[in-house]
Amino acid sequence: MSPLSPNPRVPEHAEAGLIEKMVEEQRAVLLRYATRLLGDRERAEDVVQDTFMRFVAQKTEAINGHAVEWLFTVCRNRAFDVMRKEGRLQRFEEGQVERVTAGELRPGRALEEAETHETLLRLIEHLPPSQQEVIRLKFQNGFSYQEIARITHKSIGNVGFLIHTAVARLRSEFAAERP
């Protein structure tokens, strides 16, 4: 094979450097997502690694310009496979709190934002699992309703309903906790 001809065994996205870019940009986000689903970082790391291995082997046409969405879909499916295999389809157990660090702001503002964030995370934990998942995909990962629908295998209308219902509940419960 000449050095100028493309390798037929390597998908186009691999040769274009997309894999390195996706690993760099999405590994931590996928790891957090899988950890939330599985409740175990070690198993989540295995799922994320497997997700990227499948990404490398996938044909460019299957990804079709939706690499991030594809990664989340495969990661979610792999996490569910692990849970089914282990008989543990219980996600988002009570008491699990995500810790997110941010750059320092004014001391008073930073404390207020941290308290608000902590309160919202606690309130999110009390939502039904399906609402938790779509809220996290929308607000933590920035996916559109259509992308969330493809990732979760729900209709766009169902995703919209779940997000609307969850946000309304969070707003109400958050307001009830504030003086």
pLDDT tens, position by position, 4-50: 434 444 455 555 576 788 788 889 999 999 998 888 889 999 999 99
Q: Is the pTM of this model over 0.75?
A: no
Strands (E) in the chain, as ranges, are: none
Distances (CA, A) of 75 to 71, 88, 162, 169: 6, 16, 21, 28
CATH number at residue 178: 1.10.10.10
Do 84 and 110 share a domain, yes or no? no
Residue 1 maps to a domain: no
pLDDT tier at 159, thresholds 50, 70, 90: very high
Structure tokens at 44: 């989540």
* Domain limit, last residue, from 56, 89, 122: 89
Q: What is the pLDDT of residue 16?
A: 57
Rounded to an integer, what distance in angstroms lies between the CA atom of residue 44 and that of residue 79? 7
Angle subtended by helix axes 41-57 and 18-38, to nearest 10: 150
Rounded to an integer, what distance in angstroms lies between the CA atom of residue 118 and that of residue 116? 5
Q: What is the pLDDT of residue 31?
A: 92
Do 85 and 108 share a domain, yes or no? no
Q: What is the pLDDT of residue 107?
A: 56
Q: How many CA atoms lie within 13 A of 18 on its CB side?
A: 21
pLDDT tens, position by position, 100-149: 333 444 556 766 777 878 888 888 899 999 999 999 898 888 889 999 99
Report the number of distinct structural domains present in the chain: 2
Q: Which domain holds residue 82?
A: 7-89
Rounded to an integer, what distance in angstroms lies between the CA atom of residue 131 and that of residue 118? 18
Structure tokens at 2: 């000449």
Within 10 angstroms of residue 132's Cβ, the number of other Cβ atoms is: 18
Do 75 and 108 share a domain, yes or no? no
Residue 97 maps to a domain: no
